[in-house]
Amino acid sequence: MLAGDVFGTFNFKSRLKPGSEIRIPDAAGYSMVKKNWFNGLQMPSIAVKRLDGTLYTARKFYYNDFINSLS
């Protein structure tokens, strides 16, 4: 773990399960800078939740993005 990798220590009312939603404010910029393709694992899409509650997918990542990121 690097300095800045910790957003805090949290306790939740119930156990988290697949599909649980956790919001960490102001972390998007950090997440994009720290992104990597560990073992070619696909990066998660970037989504925006608008004020009216609708979701907009701003960016999806594909295998070609991985290939293009190789040096």
Instruction: Output the DSSP codes for 5-24.
Output: --------SS---TT-----
pLDDT band at 40 (very low <50, low <70, confident <90, very high): low
For the segment 42-63, the average pLDDT, to the nearest whole number, is: 88
Quick one: what percent of the chain has pLDDT higher than 70? 66
For the segment 8-22, the average pLDDT, to the nearest whole number, is: 86
Q: Is a pLDDT exceeding 60 seen at residue 1? A: no
Q: Is a pLDDT exceeding 60 seen at residue 46? A: yes
Q: Regarding predicted confidence, which is higher, 66 or 36?
A: 66
For the segment 12-39, the average pLDDT, to the nearest whole number, is: 74
Kindly report the CA angle at 65 between 28 and 61, in degrees rounded to 5?
Answer: 50
